[in-house]
Structure 1
Amino acid sequence: MADHFIYILECADGTYYTGYTTDLDRRLNAHNKGTGAKYTRARRPVRRLYEEVFSTKQEAMQREYAIKQLTRLQKERLIKGVKK
């Protein structure tokens, strides 16, 4: 059974991108080759700042959605591991 990951990338322009994958290294390489998400194609290179692992796709997708609803400041706190 594969692990399911959500991740936050920092793009070359300083923006954040949050995504889902079952293979973090492959996905990061795809983003940096320009074959990942449309958003990251023009914002390369990207670097991984944060990741979480889940046992089900449903859990990972729910967490991805929740992270995408956060403000930039909230995402920065999450990345740094700061609790509320």
Structure 2
Amino acid sequence: LAQWPGVFAFLGMKNDEKGVGAAHHNEYFDLDEDSLAMGTAGAVAYAINFLNSDMEFEDKEYKGKFKEYLKEIDQSDEQIEEYYAVEKVD
């Protein structure tokens, strides 16, 4: 978002009445599936508004490789390798 127009949003998926909403990345994680409609509507609204805007964006296309971009924004080699790490599943 610092270099190109965009949007970043957190969508709350906790619902105490339904008993869902444990923290991410644990065995109890669940979400209120009804919240997905709101997230989808927000993403679609953003896309429609973007496509209907007069915003110039062709000149902002990044022409390099993703790893090169990560280096340009000061990501360390270790961080970059973490992005590309693949865990083996037995």
TM norm structure 2: 0.24
Structure whose residues are more often strand by fraction:
1
- Decide which structure has the larger Cα Rg and report it: 2
TM norm structure 1: 0.25
